[in-house]
Amino acid sequence: MKLPKLSSNFDLYLLVVPILLAAGSIATLYSITSVSGKTYLATDQIMYFAIGFAAYFVATAFDYRRLKPYSFYLFLFGLAGLVAVEFFGQKVFGSQRWINLGFTQYQPSDVMKLFFLLFAAAFFSERKMTIQTIILYVIFATVPMVLVFLQPDLGTTLTLVAIAAAVFIAARPPRKVIFSVIIAAIVAAPIGWMTLKPYQRERLTTFLNPSSDPLKSGYNVTQSKIAVGSGGLRGKGLGNTTQSQLQFIPVVHVDFIFSAWAEATGFIGSCTMVLAFLVLIWKTFVTAARSQDNFGALFCFGGAGMILFQAYVNIAMNIGLAPVTGIPLPLVSYGGTSILTTMLILGIVQSVHLRQRSLKFD
């Protein structure tokens, strides 16, 4: 078997942008933990990125088309992980999402993003768009969403919804079907509201009126907005921040890491990070448009949709334009499973890019 040369037709944007985001992540984590003595978070993040980039290159060298026959089995494996959390999961901040492996924490719901994306892309690449196909797809998609929602993890649930919607739209359903889905979602909204936990409803109502509870449910967003605003045009500099380093912002290393970056680098740095995400998303969409097969195109489109949704919601909630939902900023927030999953998805996107001219293996 002869592998294609990775240097030929290699999309550097799909590699350089993740490297830049990784550098920003590590620098920010080290900055915000230098006072508290938790610099091990930055050290852990370096290890996570080392593993993530190794996985990226493995996925890039691997022919993504070979994953298609195994997509359903990977989907089932992901479901098994979500079920295992219910029995062996570790509770943190009231949510049971992680399995303690001894040397690290494993979050099956994060890996499920990749497995579900592969499954959804394979599902529509093999079937015609019929009512039966749509109903079957909704059933399959609902199962992991319900399991993740029960952990409870609203953020990852919404991310799975975004992936499902992105792949569905990329499969080009008739307009009347799209309108029917939108109407069904609107009708089901009250039911969804009733299933939310009290603290989740509180977050949504606080988003609409942040001043209603500034010391409790509105505290995180208020402190985050102060941090972003205090950064000014050029920022205070890494290691010179107050809101982030003095821990005024809870879970700043995960949910609110963008506010820490904004406080340190200011408006210029914030725009630079947003631009990096836009370039990454744009190149992923371009790869989807140029793909020679439906499976690769649907996978890339869904991956772009996932990164777009997560980046937008996280940044928006950091500046008070979206409710707090616990969605991490891809490749920036602290977390090994999230980094590994995102890097694998980007590696597969690079694999699609390299094989968009139907490169053959001898």
Give per-residue pLDDT as tens, 115-171: 999 999 999 999 888 889 999 999 999 999 999 998 888 889 999 999 999 999 999
Q: How many residues does the chain have?
A: 362
pTM of the model as a whole: 0.90
Respond yes or no on whether the N-terminal peptide bond of residue 152 is cis (omega within 30° of 0).
yes
Question: Does 9 score more than 50 pLDDT?
Answer: yes
pLDDT of residue 93: 62
**CA 247/CA 78 separation, integer angstroms:** 35
Query: Using 50, 70 and 90 to split pLDDT, how confident is the model at 199?
Result: low
**CA 304/CA 289 separation, integer angstroms:** 12
**CA 251/CA 249 separation, integer angstroms:** 7
Query: Using 50, 70 and 90 to split pLDDT, how confident is the model at 299?
Result: very high
For tokens 């952990």, the residue is 151
**CA 87/CA 103 separation, integer angstroms:** 19
Domain boundaries, the chain: 13-354
Question: Does 28 score more than 90 pLDDT?
Answer: yes
